[in-house]
Amino acid sequence: MSNERTEEAQKRELRNRRNFSFRLNLFFFVTFFVFSTLIVRLAYLQFVEGASLKEREHQIGTRNVYIPPIRGNIYDSTGVPIAYSTSTQSLYYTLEQGTKEEAGRALASKLVEVFDKYGDKVSKPLTADDVFEDMDFGGKVHLPYQQRRIKSGLTEKEIAYFSEHKSEYKGVEVVEESIRQYSSEHVAAQLVGYMKQLQGATSLSYYKDINKDQTDPTLKYLDTEDVGFDGIELMYQEELRGRNGLKTYPVNSESRIIGPMELTKPVKGNNLFLTINKDVQLATQNAITTHLEKIRTSTLKAERAPNAKTGYAVAMEVKTGKVVAMASMPDYDTNLWQGGISSKDYDAVKYYMGNGAIREVQAPYEDDKERLKHPSSLVNLGSTQKPLTILLGLNEHLITPNSTFNDPGYFQFGRKGYETKVRNSKSEANGLLTPWKAIAKSSNAFMSAMVGNALYLRDGSDALDVWDSYMKQFGLGVTTGSGLPGESKGSVNYYEEAKRGSAQSALIYASFGQQGRYTALQLAQYATTLASHGTRLKPQFVDRIEDADGNLVQPYQKEVLNTVSFPDEYWNTIEKGMGQVKVQGFDGFPYNFYRKTGTSQQEVGGGLVENAVFIAYAPAEDPVLAVAVVVPEGGFGGWGAAPIARKIFDAYDQAVGLTGTPRKAANPSAADSSADGAAAANANADAPDSTNNEQ
């Protein structure tokens, strides 16, 4: 019995030893696994996440105060500043919820008293009404939370007063800021564009998620900084902006500063040197303005255009694609946007802010019903289409350079009993015409019969695609490739006419320029393509980009978009005709040049209006500059648009030189009197030769 107990005890002891050994091994294994996991985790934290954790520790232990970037300047091609930034102290007002207009008016009066007492006595004094207007209680210009700038350029006394009496002026704050200044001469206002505070610029998709995934604090956009909102300012926003500066303060858990500040200086943005020449640009703007006034009040029947209120012009170098002038007139003072434009100023300039040389801008009439009776900045090509129509006809073998057509003054098409007549201007019968003479005489009948209708008879409805292909190769119906924000590709109407009428009518009307509305920039690109015999260049506006130290960042590079190849005989044919087009304003012009006038008819608001259109390039022997001018409701192109182009050519010749060397200006008074005398002589004939058959 005792042996059995001894054996049982031995077995129990053996089992206990085994269990203990198992538990001990399990303990060591678990301990080893835990320590291994900790070591691996520590290694991962140190080598993989170490940098981000250190950054997070730094962020928790520091606070950043952002210094807005210093924006780069914009210069003309000769280095004259057009847009630049200056530092100033400004007074801002924030409209707090529940503030009554009466309280706003009272505050405005108090502010004016301070301005009158401590402000700059040279400046034009602000009135209480001016200040209240800038407060924008109606929210016409600003969003509710946006600050409204009341006055910039505060004097030291004004700054000191508002700092000492801050509690007395609810919602008022003095802010140090960088102000964007624009040329007082309004150099290419709509092309250069303007700026808005980022908070008010998020309506543009470009800025909606501008800070998404941005980890670099020097590149983070600030809600209160001004950003480009249109034109070059928007197109080159990244190049102009620069980088933020930072004041980094070490802080404790209570956010108290516990050490010295670390400064990261802001980096100034790059400077842009435009292709725009200030002298040529201002001459272009002035030429449009003075000529509009002249034709609105002219006593000459052929010249008078009482509703001509706007004009657009583009001058583009044939060999480079550089745009040396682009004008959309009337223009306005872009300095009005400093700190946010007032509702009063906005109402005064809203029809002139858009760049009508690149996009559709409506006629400047306050009354909606009246505005619908007038054309926008997009107009039909009119007879400026005809050189391309002849090129198409020649290249498609519909005509030859020696083809003839007896022009009775009209072309008739359609089934019997439902015929439609396409007439020349004044139904002028031109007799026997060849292609070049059809351009010189601007024969609608020739274009309709020999090209438009002939193309339809050959290809049927497929002819529309053939036509469309030629238009696009010359830059009509597509964007020019300039990259300018909001650029229009024009309005192609021949496909719509084919649906309403027929493919035949669409092609016939298109052949003399009545089925496509395009911008002045598209017309300039079209003219340069003609001048270069088939090379379509990208219009460019920036000659070079330099950093703040003057180092070249980006040089100019010509860019060819596409080329078309035609026999020299075809080019010679159209240029022979373009060289014979009669036109006003070019008396005494010292160069041979090719041109085409256009009087594009357009139905607007149930009435028919005539728009003046003109393209030209010079010198004829070696084209350097192409010019396009559009004057909505300007009447005959030879009278309403061509004289503007002459002044642009002259300005370029004097500033740059059509032969490579600036040409000394002639006696302006003698030239003007000579031109006026020639115009009067031509006008004595009731139907002027210069606009003969121009539609």
In this structure, the number of other CB atoms found within 10 A of the CB of residue 668 comes to 9
Sign of CA dihedral 461, 464, 466, 467: positive
Confidence band (pLDDT; 50, 70, 90) for 55? low
DSSP-derived secondary structure letter, 341: -
**For 678, how many CA atoms within 13 A lie in the half-sphere containing its CB?**
17
From 247, 315, 277, select the one nearest 65 (Cα to Cα).
Answer: 247
The secondary structure element, H or E, covering residue 517 is strand 516-518
Which residue type occupies 20?
F
Give the relative orientation of helices 386-395 and 568-578 as an angle to the nearest 10 degrees: 150
Please say if the pLDDT value at position 67 is more than 90.
Answer: no
Q: Who contacts 322 (Cβ-Cβ below 8 Å, separation ≥6)?
A: 275, 316, 540, 543, 556
- Identify the residue with better confidence: 78 or 244: 78
pLDDT at 338: 82
pLDDT at 480: 97
**For 621, how many CA atoms within 13 A lie in the half-sphere containing its CB?**
5
Looking up tokens 């192609």 gives 492
The encoded tokens of residue 119 equal 């402000």
**Strands 74-75 and 271-274, sheet pairing:** parallel
Are the beta carbons of 494 and 468 closer than 8 angstroms?
A: yes
Length of the chain, please? 695
Bridge partners of residue 91, in order along the sequence: 151, 174
Q: Who contacts 575 (Cβ-Cβ below 8 Å, separation ≥6)?
A: 594, 620
Confidence band (pLDDT; 50, 70, 90) for 282? very high
Bridge partners of residue 175, in order along the sequence: 90
Are the beta carbons of 484 and 522 closer than 8 angstroms?
A: no
State mean pLDDT over 589-593: 97
In this structure, the number of other CB atoms found within 10 A of the CB of residue 667 comes to 9
Q: How far is CA 682 from CA 287, 295, 474, 675, in A?
A: 21, 15, 34, 11
- Identify the residue with better confidence: 60 or 94: 94
Looking up tokens 């005959």 gives 636
Which tens digits make up the pLDDT trace of 486-541?
A: 999 999 999 999 999 999 999 999 999 999 999 999 999 999 999 999 999 999 99
The secondary structure element, H or E, covering residue 199 is helix 198-201
- Identify the residue with better confidence: 448 or 338: 448
H helices present in 450-502, as ranges? 453-459, 463-473, 494-500
Are the beta carbons of 539 and 316 closer than 8 angstroms?
A: yes
What mean pLDDT value characterizes the chain? Answer: 88
- The CA angle 355-357-361, to the nearest 5 degrees, is 55
pTM for the whole structure: 0.81
Alpha-carbon gap, residue 486 to 234, rounded angstroms: 11
pLDDT at 690: 36
pLDDT at 38: 76
Q: Does domain 88-177 match CATH 3.40.50.10800?
A: no
The hierarchical CATH code for the domain 278-286+312-670 is 3.40.710.10
Which residue type occupies 387?
P
Confidence band (pLDDT; 50, 70, 90) for 254? low
Output phi, psi for 630, to 5 deg: -130, 125
Where does residue 217 rank: exposed (0-12), middle (13-18), buried (19+ CB within 10 A)? middle
Q: How far is CA 338 from CA 33, 76, 237, 625, 673, in A?
A: 67, 21, 17, 36, 43
Are the beta carbons of 266 and 245 closer than 8 angstroms?
A: yes
Which tens digits make up the pLDDT trace of 547-566?
A: 999 999 999 999 999 999 99
The encoded tokens of residue 416 equal 């019997």
Looking up tokens 């022979």 gives 576
Please say if the pLDDT value at position 327 is more than 90.
Answer: yes
Bridge partners of residue 271, in order along the sequence: 546
Out of 107-121, 317-331, 491-505, 609-623, pick the least confident: 107-121
From 582, 593, 585, 592, select the one nearest 671 (Cα to Cα).
Answer: 585
pLDDT at 145: 60
State mean pLDDT over 646-659: 97
Give yes or no for a cis peptide into 306 (omega within 30° of 0).
no
Percent of the chain with pLDDT over 90: 61
What residue segments make up the domains of the chain, in order of their start? 53-76+187-273, 88-177, 278-286+312-670
Bridge partners of residue 86, in order along the sequence: 179
State mean pLDDT over 369-393: 96
From 475, 385, 395, select the one nearest 438 (Cα to Cα).
Answer: 385
Out of 162-166, 300-304, 654-658, pick the least confident: 162-166
Domain 53-76+187-273: give its CATH superfamily.
Answer: Penicillin-binding protein 2a (Domain 2) (3.90.1310.10)
pLDDT at 418: 84
In this structure, the number of other CB atoms found within 10 A of the CB of residue 681 comes to 9
Please say if the pLDDT value at position 683 is more than 70.
Answer: no
The encoded tokens of residue 5 equal 């107990």
Residue burial 638-656, b: 16+ Cβ < 10 Å; e: rest: bbbbbbbbbbbbbbbbbbb
Looking up tokens 């010509």 gives 558
From 450, 403, 404, 449, select the one nearest 431 (Cα to Cα).
Answer: 404
